[in-house]
Amino acid sequence: MHVHQNIFLKEYNTFRIGAYAKYFAQFRSVEELKVLLEIQKNTPSKLILGGGSNILFTQNYEGIILKNEIPGIDIIAEDENFVYIKAGAGVNWHNFVQYCVNHNFGGLENLSLIPGNVGATPMQNIGAYGVEIKDVFYELEAFHHEEKVIQKFTANDCEFGYRESIFKKNLKGQFVILNVTFRLNKKPVFHISYGAIEEELEKMHIKDLNIKAISNAVIHIRKSKLPDPELIGNAGSFFKNPVIGKRHFQETQQICELQKMDPPFFKIHEDLYKIPAGWLIEQCGWKGFRKKDAGCYEKQALVLVNYGNATGKDIFNLSEEIAISVKEKFGITLEREVNIV
């Protein structure tokens, strides 16, 4: 454990943005975290970093970045139907999913190949292909910066919403997530109706459905649609899929009818509709757009990319232009999923 100065952050964020941190340190336990917080108590700002897969640095960071590398995967309880697995916040998410899949513990297979670490998953309530973290979440432990105590949070405590939790709202910046416990199925329930999973399984000639096959199908789909952050800098989905009310949805349908467009949508309940942000962005002509090294990915308009030497401001400015055009064309406000620093 050591505090470094003027650290280049390119390898610590999946956008591969070349910003600098004035101070930088890594911790692998709550004890190390306590020490770092004490010796850096006079540093004006602190940022907890996980896998760096949901962050865009638009400038150098003048405080200290503390990288969470808490390890460990442990089965802490089980019964006839469920197994309870605790994972350290610093564990790579996809590696953890594959551990569970290989042990036939069901529930996370639809979330395969999502970049980042375990600690960020409840914070974002990550989701894909019809499954969200809240569906398999049991509890987490988090350390309060100021009070210096460890607190447990249940699912109700976390106040999960669409890509939201209490850690992004009322408790933003107050806690460091240490570990997360998931309740997974020993008798898996398959979720294959969302997206192209069924079609992919047919291509794979799967006859006996299992969670390993579903995980592989999701991996194939994601690889075919999304850029590998190791090759092209990105943070996955840059915007949330907008959720709008019934009247707003009807107005959007009218706009689309005039322009001979058929908008895809998901009816959440009687008065709320979700429209894919990628479709909205594509209809505004951004898919495949590139300005110097900042671009909108050619296979998925929801993903903004760094083709090499784009700055965080280049990416941010592009996102602003995209959001403005969607607002002007459809009257819908896009909200960023990526955290801006």
Q: What domains are there in the chain, each with its CATH number? A: 4-68 (3.30.43.10), 73-225 (3.30.465.10), 233-340 (3.90.78.10)
Annotated catalytic residue: which of 69, 109, 141, 337? 337
* From 16-30, 135-149, 261-275, the region with the lowest mean pLDDT: 261-275
Over the chain, what is the mean pLDDT? Answer: 91
Least confident interval from 92-106, 242-256, 326-340? 242-256
Number of H helices, E strands in the chain: 9, 20
Would you call 237 a catalytic residue per the annotation?
Answer: yes
Active-site annotation holder among 132, 141, 163, 200: 163
| pLDDT of 184 higher than 80 | yes
User: How confident is the model over 205-229, as a mean pLDDT?
Assistant: 90
- Of 8, 26, 28, which Cα lies nearest the Cα of 18? 8
Closest CA to 101 of 3, 215, 194: 215
Instruction: Write the CB contacts of 95 (distance below 8 Å, at least 6 apart in sequence).
Output: none
Q: How confident is the model at residue 195 (pLDDT cuts 50, 70, 90)?
A: low
Say whether 222 is catalytic: no
**330/37 Cα distance (integer angstroms):** 46
- CA atoms of 99 and 109, how far apart (whole Å): 10
Q: Would the pLDDT of 206 be above 90?
A: no
CA 118 vs. chain centroid, Å, equals 10
pLDDT at 259: 75
Active site residue 165: no
Q: How far apart are CA 215 and CA 198, in angstroms?
A: 12
Give the residue carrying structure tokens 């240490």: 178
